[in-house]
Amino acid sequence: MTTIALRIRGPNGAHSVSVPAEASLEHLMQKVTETTSIPLHQQELRTGFPPKPIPTSSPSTTTLSQLGLRSGESIQVTANTSAAETASPGSAASTSVGNTSTHLDAIASSSTSPLATNHRPSPTAASTSASTLAKPTSSAGAGRYVQVDGGYLCLRTVPDDNSCLFRAVGLLLAPEKVDLRQLVAEVIRNNPETWSEAVLGQPQESYINTILKPNSWGGAIELAIFASYFNTAIASIDVKTGRVDEFGEGEGYENAAVLVYSGIHYDAVTFSYAEPSSADVYPFPNLDFDTRLFSRTSEYDQASLMLIAAQELVTALRKTHQFTDAATFTLKCEQCGKAIVGEKEARAHASETGHVKFGEYDG
């Protein structure tokens, strides 16, 4: 008998359950009661992005396969306390399920990166069926989140400490705290033909030694490695231009992650059912309910819908000039004092001298 693994996300946390693929919805709802203590007649279930209710008019005859539920999907459970205690399982006001593909990968590279060759045009409502996905937010949320059907698309800001790319990618793809710098080093060392001196711009061991230093910036090379390693497309939206660079495009990956790139800094984007608080700062207290990855399948392209909403976030950031022109900003090498203009020059200086600690140029 084929079984499917589902993730139940309720008020008391997240739980994994296994059920037969041909089980009835009522069987699943009983599992939900076991894990959340929410009675069948009070259950509201949502799935997908944006989250949509699961129809529960005939829970005893509707099968999970008929609903399109697949192994690995998440179901968001809330309690409708106004439901009559005597109601039957089929009379719940609405049922919603949250297909929370768990990872939303990192936003990527600088506009001048040689590996950022797959440029996707900014998605538009006309290219999808989600013309009303993003809704205006209050001024309090401007630049931090946009309201979408069923929840909020949130900018998760990570520290500006020269490791922002690794922190943002780790938040979305490696919440178990994989050492991402070490991962990059191992992939490069084990694949010398793919990551040759011509691609890296310097000898392999020199690049490895540099990227292992905590103050070294990551960029297109690292994002390409992460996309391949995690089998996840990584979309990077540039705040200044709105352009989307995608790593892993065309590889057939079924999940995608999103990063926002300001010119010198990367942040992560997640979907949350709850409105983010102004107190939500790194390290974030609890992102268990956030969707970090978005599915991209022939049945439903969540990633494109998410990118539409992410453009709303980026537009708000652009209006308040929260970006840096990477080609013209001035830095100072804190190891030798040299003034450096632009990211390209900073990378060249690091390659030539081994200096990797840069700060704002104070004139």
Read off φ and ψ for residue 15, nearest 5 degrees.
-140, 145
Tell me how crowded residue 361 is: count the other CB atoms within 10 A of its CB.
Answer: 14
Which one of 161, 179, 288, 325 is the catalytic residue?
161
Residue 310: which of 259, 256, 240 has the closest Cα? 259
Q: Which residue of the set 41, 103, 154, 164 is catalytic?
A: 164
Helix/strand/coil for 154: strand
Is residue 355 annotated as a catalytic residue, yes or no?
A: yes
Question: Is residue 164 annotated as a catalytic residue, yes or no?
Answer: yes
Question: Cis (ω within 30 of 0) for the bond into 123?
Answer: no
H helix or E strand, kind and range, residue 20 = strand 13-20
Element (H, E) at 184: helix 180-190
Nearest to 268 by CA among 232, 300, 321: 232
DSSP class of 55: P
> Residue 78 in contact with residue 44, Cβ under 8 Å?
yes
Matching residue, tokens 């390693």: 229
- Whether residue 300 contacts residue 254, with contact meaning beta carbons closer than 8 Å, is answered with no
* Cα Dmax for the chain: 76
> Can you read off the two tokens belonging to residue 143?
């630049």
Annotated catalytic residue, options 41, 238, 245, 265: 265
Task: Give catalytic residues, as residue numbers.
Answer: 161, 164, 265, 355
